[in-house]
Amino acid sequence: MKAIIKPSRAHGKFCAPPSKSFAHRIMICAALSGGKSKISNLAESQDILATADCISALGALFEKTENGAEITGFVKNTDAAPVFPCRESGSTLRFFIPIACALFDSSVFSGSQRLIERGIGIYEDIFNNVGIKIEKNSDSIAFKGRLSAGEYAVCGNVSSQFISGLMFALPLLSGDSKITVLPPVESKPYIDITLSVLRDFGIEISETAENSYFIEGNQRYIPKDAKVEGDWSNAAPFFALNALGADIEIGGLSENSLQGDKIVTEYISALKKPHPAIDLSFCPDLAPVLFSLSAALSGGEFTGTARLKIKESDRAAAMKEELFKFGINAEISENRVIIPNRTLLPPKEPISSHNDHRIVMANAILLTLTGGVIDGIEAVNKSFPDFFEALASLGVDISYEN
């Protein structure tokens, strides 16, 4: 589907949607507990639905409520080799793999071709050392063998989701374990979110030294009612709109949040100054919208961009391609992106989504200045299905065609 956006100045009130980062973790902890947990403020994005499907595959009960869900952990045994349908959700895949390997002798994970292509190299290296066999094809990954307690060294500059996945699983095992995160450690705030949610559900993991975690075995998850806080990542485009002249009152966010993407307000302030230089190592999900904003302002230099290749799209390359349609010729290298100071032009051809929700949202912001068409807008269903409805409610002129 295409959205046709006319130049518009947004104004009004916007309430941030629920945080996907917190929601995934809360749902998983509830599913691993021994009772019923009530979760409120839960959005029905594709990633959240993928986690709900995997909770059911695990053997827990997931029941939708008016504003969230009730999850009852471990109410029945599943088949000998359960199938975990992850759709396109990388976090769902990476969180559940160690859990499945801790609880089942065999398991299968299915998903889109792009999800499988994004890879699980960290787990392949780890599991090879503990005797877990892995078989991959274009749309699934099969595991055979059990995860064991022990010492695990994990690279810290690929994805924190591998570390979080182990943190969910290792407390379930009979022996004690240790995770050492090898520097450089990026996306540390996401590890902190995992530790916080685990603690809320009764799991204690102690950081015995910097980036070294001790995990006692035979722990039990305790059911808990929880409310998902607002999402700084999906609020970022609306902060960007304000930087471009909109007048939006943004609510629903916690100033004390552990979410690393709350730094977006500092980075937007930096982009308003001459020659901004921004490190995205701790907040890669902000990259597309910050690239767009810098293109509309006076450019910028971004480092810590290497991991953008393993997102839903190769985000640096995708943004270079789309910004070129606005007359902006970005420069990309292995771990750096430079957005030049150029005049933003109306695109003469449709903007492509690259099937990536953050690419859609980032470019939609620019189209409120120039006008234009963006194709494949259904990609926002992955994390923020109501994104265009939110824009329209703020006065942005949007029409649609198939």
- Which CATH number is 311's domain given? 3.65.10.10
Entry pTM: 0.94
Q: What is the mean pLDDT of residues 69-97?
A: 89
pLDDT tens column, 258-286: 999 999 999 999 999 999 999 999 999 99
Cis peptide bond prior to 184, omega within 30° of 0: yes
The helix/strand/coil state of 102 is: helix
Confidence of residue 138 (pLDDT cuts 50, 70, 90): very high
Q: What is the mean pLDDT of residues 61-79?
A: 86
Q: So what's the pLDDT on residue 78?
A: 59
pLDDT tens column, 281-305: 999 999 999 999 999 999 999 999 9
Q: So what's the pLDDT on residue 162?
A: 97
Among 227, 246, 278, identify where a domain stops.
Answer: 227
Share above pLDDT 70 across residues of the chain, in percent, rounded to a whole number: 99
147 & 168 share domain: yes
Among 192, 212, 227, identify where a domain stops.
Answer: 227
114 & 150 share domain: yes
Cβ neighbourhood burial of 275 (10 Å; 0-12, 13-18, 19+): exposed
369 & 244 share domain: yes
Number of domains composing the chain: 2
Determine which one of 53, 231, 261, 285 is catalytic: 285
* Domain range enclosing 379: 2-17+230-401
- Flag whether pLDDT at 333 surpasses 90: yes
66 & 120 share domain: yes
129 & 212 share domain: yes
d(CA 5, CA 8): 8
CA-nearest of 121, 123, 44 to 87 is 44
Q: So what's the pLDDT on residue 129?
A: 87
- Flag whether pLDDT at 386 surpasses 70: yes
Is 261 among the residues known to form the active site? no
Among 208, 227, 246, identify where a domain stops.
Answer: 227
Confidence of residue 226 (pLDDT cuts 50, 70, 90): very high
41 & 13 share domain: no
Q: Report the half-sphere exposure of 39 (CA within 13 A, side-chain side).
A: 31
Q: Is the dihedral of CA 147, 189, 23, 155 positive or negative?
A: negative
133 & 195 share domain: yes
